[in-house]
Amino acid sequence: MRITFLIIFGVSTFLFGQNKKKGLDVVSNIEAKMIVMKPIGNNHLSKLLMPFYGFGFGGNLMTPVNFGVGLDYNVLFSNVKYGEQNIYGNIGSPTITNIDLYVTHREIISEDFSIEEMAGFSFYRQTNLLIDGKNEKLKDNATGFNLGGKALYTLDRDGYQQVFVAAKVNFYFTNIYNENSEIQKFYNRSTFLSLNLGYRYNF
């Protein structure tokens, strides 16, 4: 998964470099960020787990008409709530690896401030450590979509460096079967609210 991300990002950067040589006004950037993410709703991630904390990297390409595409790679860590271990199962130390692919639109407010809206597709891999399994891991994949917004402040006159705060809603759908439809829904769906604080470099 990490190799795929690096390949996609490398190809995007290469294509941007070629376009820039031809005189096209396309902006490319890379980002690093810290993330706090909380599951909400009546589901197992919200009821049984503590909020997730983690980090992420990403980048996007923005066209002259202020529309672009972006890719984020995030790693988030949580713990089972105290007293809920028996309900959650004989597993612990949940980790979610998340890839967001999205389209984005930029609104320039002033020379220093801008905002961006995002909407796209999400892929998740949840990994749990089996408590009695001698470091064995249980993995589960899920898909969904994401919506969000980002506020950016430019640090330098040339516009290369920016800091940002972003808020995002991610929807999570997996495929766990249970004869009881309510139990199946409890384990199959979730919604995440996240807050991101990060640094962007434009080139």
pLDDT single digits (tens) 74-107: 999 999 887 776 556 667 789 999 999 999 999 9
How long a stretch of residues is the chain?
203
145: pLDDT strictly greater than 50: yes
Across the chain, which distance is largest between two alpha carbons, in Å? Answer: 61
3-state secondary structure of 21: helix
Average pLDDT over residues 128-150: 85
Task: Provide the β-strand partners of residue 23.
Answer: none
Average pLDDT over residues 120-143: 85
Task: Provide the β-strand partners of residue 61.
Answer: 28, 69
CB 143 within 8 A of CB 182: no
Confidence of residue 128 (pLDDT cuts 50, 70, 90): confident
Q: What is the model's pLDDT at position 191?
A: 97
Rounded mean pLDDT of the chain? 86
120: pLDDT strictly greater than 80: yes
CB-count exposure of residue 109 (10 Å: 0-12, 13-18, 19+): exposed
Q: Which of 55-64, 81-90, 173-182 bottoms out in mean pLDDT, i.e. has the lowest?
A: 81-90
Tell me whether strands 189-202 and 161-173 are parallel, antiparallel or unpaired. Answer: antiparallel
CB 80 within 8 A of CB 88: yes
